[in-house]
């Protein structure tokens, strides 16, 4: 693909302006900066789910209720949403580097708060601070992926973003579960590991060149849910795809460990999160294996598979079958990965360069609302409805949304092809 700096103002940084940002240090090469941006996206999701396997331990240790746990979960989610709504385009104004440094530094502070926590009140503060920082880090890193894409087309950037998201989330759950099961200090060691990963991210962000050429003073403002006219169709499809896939993910993060413990009749932390790991692991493999499928086809087939997998999981809860549960998680994981990637590819190919951070922030508003709101509601009603009934009801709702996404993706076939022809690399 021919590279035209005029088409990508965030990347044309070999001028005197670039030197003023990077004076006194040698910035990272473009491919390394691109890999760093992907690492930051994955790390944000890694940290977001890392405390999940520890919640049962916290509840037993400090004797708080399921309602309190649900509110702690909500504190994180609303912290992310607040950042995206109030400061979604801040890196377009101030530049990527200062926002990433501030976000990663804040994540390090929140991680230290988890380590020294001595009551549920500490969890509220740590989780809220983590949410605010994650919103800034993930939104900015996603924009930086486009800035440092070089000759990579939108399809490759979309694939990188999607795999980083799913792999980061799955590794966050699995790593914490393994450390909880094996470590001598389960409430400390997982956070020390995350702190080390954050230190690498902070050093990399400092060494990264600033891709935003023209910065200005940031003025806090509420980000209205406005998407440029030419992006609205792809944005709606991407929103439906992320609504169905991330709602399923939120349901798993909220109820999955408890459901796994029941279906597998095990108290082992790793076994209890097996369904989540299978779901996200299959999603990442599907994205790598079929990442260049036409976006409309990937979103269509993925949404159908997601609906089928979620319904199979609902059947597993009714039968009490661990084997059916794993099969359902595998099918749903394939659908999760393909639906999310297909919608995201369409969206990234259509975003004008000057709207990168704001549109991606709007996308993550939908994503995190999908991840948080159903999980919070499920946590509130599970006591009255029971674990299996709650999973069945919410699973049916996710399946309906996924089928709606499949219909829209199929209808978008012509538009998707036009976008691919207009944007170099978009159709690969």
Q: How far apart are CA 395 and CA 383, in angstroms?
A: 17
Report, as an integer, the average pLDDT of 170-194. Answer: 90
Per domain, the residue ranges of the chain are 28-213+228-422
How far is the C-alpha of 370 from the C-alpha of 249, rounded, in Å? 9
Q: Which residue has the higher pLDDT, 21 or 42?
A: 42
Q: What DSSP state is assigned to residue 29?
A: P
**What pLDDT, in 10s, does the model give residues 104-130?**
999 999 999 999 999 999 999 999 999
Model confidence band, residue 424 (pLDDT cutoffs 50, 70, 90): very low
**156 burial class (0-12, 13-18, 19+ CB within 10 angstroms)?**
buried
Cα angle at 424 between 423 and 428, to 5 degrees?
105
> Has residue 220 got a pLDDT over 50?
yes
Tokens in use for 189? Answer: 């060691």
Confidence band for 7, pLDDT divided at 50, 70 and 90: very low
Q: Give the model confidence (pLDDT) of 318-330 as tens digits.
A: 899 999 999 999 9
Express each pLDDT in 277-314 by its tens digit: 999 999 999 999 988 888 889 999 999 999 999 999 99
Q: 24: exposed, middle or buried (C-beta count within 10 Å: 0-12, 13-18, 19+)?
A: exposed
Q: Which of 40-54, 340-354, 397-411 has the lowest mean pLDDT?
A: 340-354
Instruction: In whole angstroms, give the CA distance from residue 155 to residue 1.
Output: 12
How confident is the model at residue 427, as a pLDDT?
Answer: 40
Cα separation of 260 and 368, whole Å?
24
Distance CA 64, CA 59 (A): 5
The pLDDT of residue 224 is: 56
Query: Which of 122, 129, 123, 91 has the alpha carbon at shortest distance from 107?
Result: 129
Q: Quick check: 338 and 282 in contact, CB under 8 A?
A: no
Which SS3 state, helix, strand or coil, does residue 176 take? Answer: helix
CA nearest 55: which of 45, 65, 47? 65
What is the spatial distance between Cα 286 and Cα 301, in angstroms, rounded to a whole number?
12
| Confidence tier at 11 by pLDDT (50, 70, 90) | very low
Q: Which two tokens stand for residue 394?
A: 């919410």
- Please provide the average confidence, as pLDDT, over all residues in the chain: 83
Say how far apart CA 385 and CA 392 lie, in whole Å: 10
Q: Thinking of the domain 28-213+228-422, which architecture would CATH place it in?
A: Up-down Bundle (1.20)
Exposed, middle or buried: residue 48 (CB in 10 Å: 0-12, 13-18, 19+)? buried
Percentage, residues of the chain above pLDDT 90: 36
Determine the Cα–Cα distance for residues 391 and 260; give it in Å rounded to an integer.
12
221-247 pLDDT, tens per residue?
655 556 777 787 888 889 999 999 888
Overall average pLDDT of the 370-395 stretch: 84
Question: Cβ distance 225 to 362 under 8 Å?
Answer: yes
Is pLDDT at 69 greater than 50 in this prediction? yes
User: Mutual orientation of helices 232-263 and 322-350 as an angle, nearest 10°?
Assistant: 160
Return all residues near 185 (Cβ < 8 A) that are at least 6 apart.
none
Band of pLDDT at residue 14, cut at 50, 70 and 90: very low
Each residue of 387-413: pLDDT tens digit?
888 888 988 999 999 999 999 888 877
The DSSP call for residue 338 is H
In the predicted structure, residue 333 carries a pLDDT above the cut 80: yes
Buried b (16+ CB within 10 A) or exposed e, 54-75: bbbebeeeeebeeebbbbbbbb
- What 3-state class would DSSP assign to 183? coil
Q: Is the pLDDT of residue 219 over 70?
A: no
Q: What is the pLDDT of residue 120?
A: 93
Torsions phi, psi for 263 (to 5 deg): -70, -35
What does the CA dihedral 112, 186, 371, 72 come to, rounded to 10 degrees?
A: -60
Percent of the chain with pLDDT over 70: 87
């Amino acid at each position: 693909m021919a590279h035209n700096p005029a088409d990508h103002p965030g990347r044309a940084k070999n001028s005197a302006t670039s030197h003023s940002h990077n004076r006194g240090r040698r910035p990272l090469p473009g491919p390394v900066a691109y890999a760093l941006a992907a690492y930051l996206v994955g790390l944000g999701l890694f940290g977001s789910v890392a405390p999940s396997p520890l919640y049962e331990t916290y509840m037993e240790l400090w004797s708080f209720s399921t309602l309190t746990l649900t509110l702690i979960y909500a504190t994180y989610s609303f912290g992310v949403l607040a950042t995206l709504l109030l400061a979604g385009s801040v890196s377009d104004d101030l530049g990527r580097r200062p926002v990433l440094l501030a976000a990663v530094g804040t994540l390090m502070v929140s991680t230290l708060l988890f380590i020294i926590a001595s009551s549920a009140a500490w969890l509220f503060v740590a989780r809220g601070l983590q949410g605010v920082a994650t919103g800034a880090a993930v939104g900015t890193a996603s924009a930086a992926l486009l800035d440092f894409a070089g000759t990579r087309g939108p399809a490759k950037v979309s694939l990188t973003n999607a795999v980083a998201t799913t792999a980061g989330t799955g590794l966050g759950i699995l790593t914490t579960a393994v450390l909880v099961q094996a470590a001598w200090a389960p409430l400390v060691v997982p956070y020390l590991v995350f702190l080390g990963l954050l230190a690498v991210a902070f050093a990399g962000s400092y060494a990264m060149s600033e891709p935003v050429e023209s910065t200005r003073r940031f003025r806090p403002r509420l980000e209205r849910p406005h998407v440029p006219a030419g992006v609205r169709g792809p944005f709606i499809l991407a929103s439906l795809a992320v609504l169905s896939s991330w709602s399923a993910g939120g349901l798993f993060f909220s109820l999955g460990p408890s459901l796994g413990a029941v279906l597998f009749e095990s108290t082992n932390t790793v076994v209890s999160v097996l369904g989540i790991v299978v779901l996200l692991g299959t999603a990442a493999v599907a994205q790598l294996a079929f990442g260049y499928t036409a976006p409309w086809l990937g979103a269509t087939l993925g949404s159908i598979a997601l609906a089928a997998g979620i319904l199979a999981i609902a059947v597993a809860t009714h039968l009490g079958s661990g084997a059916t549960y794993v099969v359902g998680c595998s099918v749903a994981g394939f659908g999760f990965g393909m639906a999310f990637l297909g919608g995201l590819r369409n969206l990234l190919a259509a975003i004008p360069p000057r709207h990168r951070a704001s549109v991606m922030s709007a996308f993550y508003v939908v994503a995190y609302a999908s991840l948080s709101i159903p999980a919070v509601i499920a946590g509130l009603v599970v006591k009255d409805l029971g674990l299996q009934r709650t999973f069945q009801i919410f699973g049916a709702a996710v399946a309906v949304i996924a089928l709606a996404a499949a219909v829209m993706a199929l209808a978008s076939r012509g538009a998707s092809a036009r976008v691919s022809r207009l944007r170099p690399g978009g159709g690969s």
